[in-house]
Amino acid sequence: MKSIKLSGKTREITKKSMLKAMRREGQIPCVLYGHNVENLHFSVEERELLQILNTPNSYIVELDVDGKTHKAVFHSAQYHPVTDEPLHIDFLSVTETKPVVISVPVVITGNSEGVRQGGKLILTTRKVKISAPIDKLPDDITVDISNLNIGKSIFAGDINIDGVQVITPASTIICTVKMTRAAIGAAAAAAAAAAKK
């Protein structure tokens, strides 16, 4: 998985008024936590954080806080209910020895047989949660739809990647090809043509 670097500075656990002042200065409060790790409260410039907030991609984040580097993954964000501006970011510490749980984007490849017959491809799950060692983490989950026919679906349980455990429930639909009027018309025309033979 690709990595991205962020720089921050430690902060004290402060009152709401001080946190608001911090945000006005373009600094977003963050916290890093994890197993056997003491919580680290720090702030990062908002423009830097947008690199991971405004993208569907997932990254290993190399946090440089006051000159000390911490490996982490983005965990969650709180946003202002009106302006949608980030208010607080949580990062989860990761190590080389423990599997990392992270959500990665789904990438569709191939030309569906069902779509060629007039069906419509519906992507219902855009990210899949997985668990894997850092060196096995993929940038994305590639799903081949070449053999996907009308009325058929691909499920999370169909995903099989060496060294990667899929956490998303196996019954979760990743994508499906639905029947359309065009497909119904094509099927009727094909049936009529066959009947004339």
The whole-number pLDDT of residue 185 equals 64
DSSP class per residue in 52-104:
HHS-S---EEEEEETTEEEEEEEEEEEE-TTT--EEEEEEEE--SSSPEEEEE
Provide the domain limits for residue 44. 3-97
Q: Which of 34-38, 120-124, 172-176 has the lowest mean pLDDT?
A: 34-38
Tell me the residue ranges of DSSP E strands in the chain: 3-10, 27-34, 37-45, 60-65, 68-79, 86-93, 100-109, 120-123, 127-132, 141-144, 153-155, 165-166, 173-178
Would residue 178 count as lying in a domain? yes
- Largest Cα separation within the chain, whole Å, is 82
Q: How far is CA 88 from the centre of its chain?
A: 19
Do residues 8 and 92 share a domain? yes
Report percent pLDDT > 70 for the chain.
Answer: 90
Do residues 130 and 168 share a domain? yes
Do residues 45 and 66 share a domain? yes
23-52 residue pLDDT tens: 888 889 999 998 777 889 999 999 999 889
Do residues 86 and 144 share a domain? no
CATH number of the structural domain spanning residue 152: 2.170.120.20
Do residues 116 and 90 share a domain? no
Q: Is the pTM of this model over 0.75?
A: yes
Q: Among residues 97, 115, 134, which one ends one of the domains?
A: 97
AA letter at 34: G
Do residues 66 and 41 share a domain? yes
Do residues 59 and 12 share a domain? yes
* 8 A C-beta contact, residue 53 and residue 87: no
Do residues 79 and 111 share a domain? no
Would residue 188 count as lying in a domain? no
139-158 residue pLDDT tens: 999 999 999 999 999 999 99
The whole-number pLDDT of residue 117 equals 86
The whole-number pLDDT of residue 13 equals 67
Would residue 69 count as lying in a domain? yes
Tally the domains of the chain.
Answer: 2
81-119 residue pLDDT tens: 998 889 899 999 998 888 999 999 999 999 998 898 888
Do residues 163 and 114 share a domain? yes
Would residue 32 count as lying in a domain? yes
Report the C-alpha gap between 184 and 63 in whole angstroms. Answer: 54
* 8 A C-beta contact, residue 90 and residue 75: yes
Do residues 85 and 105 share a domain? no
Q: Among residues 80, 97, 114, which one ends one of the domains?
A: 97
Do residues 20 and 44 share a domain? yes
